[in-house]
């Protein structure tokens, strides 16, 4: 789980830092593909896509996101909302995600 959390964090940070718009869109399978491009060796399979979706839901509990459910599930976050995360390393953000999982917001 830690490795997947770190891969997820790396993709999120990559999208935040390289994005030019005001929103970040993420799809569970796209996260796995991008994570592999960033050097994380993750299998492209439905089980890992479910983990990525879980991490997206976790992030959504703390930062508002619009979710589009169609043939593919797409999460759209506002870049401004996530700006505070962009200064973290993937490992730090992964740790934060794991802490978020233990504490649900009121």
- Closest to 60 (Cα-Cα) out of 10, 8, 18, 17: 8
Please compute, for residue 20, the number of CA atoms within 13 A of its CA located in the half-sphere on the CB side: 0
Pairing type for strands 65-69 and 23-26 reads unpaired
User: What local confidence, expressed as pLDDT, does residue 20 receive?
Assistant: 80
pLDDT in tens, 40-86: 999 999 999 999 999 999 999 999 999 999 888 999 999 999 999 99
Say whether 88 sits in a helix, a strand or coil: coil
Report the C-alpha gap between 1 and 21 in whole angstroms: 30
* pTM (global) more than 0.85: yes
pLDDT in tens, 82-104: 999 999 999 999 999 988 888 76
């Amino acid at each position: 789980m830690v490795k997947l959390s770190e891969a997820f964090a790396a993709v999120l940070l990559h999208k935040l830092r390289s994005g030019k718009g005001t929103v970040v869109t993420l799809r569970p399978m796209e996260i796995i593909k991008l994570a592999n491009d960033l050097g994380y060796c993750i299998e492209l399979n439905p089980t890992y896509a479910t983990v990525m979706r879980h991490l997206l839901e976790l992030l959504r509990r703390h930062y508002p996101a619009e979710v589009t459910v169609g043939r593919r599930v797409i999460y759209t976050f506002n870049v401004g909302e996530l700006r505070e995360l962009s200064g973290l390393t993937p490992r730090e953000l992964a740790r934060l995600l794991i802490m978020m999982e233990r504490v649900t917001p009121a």
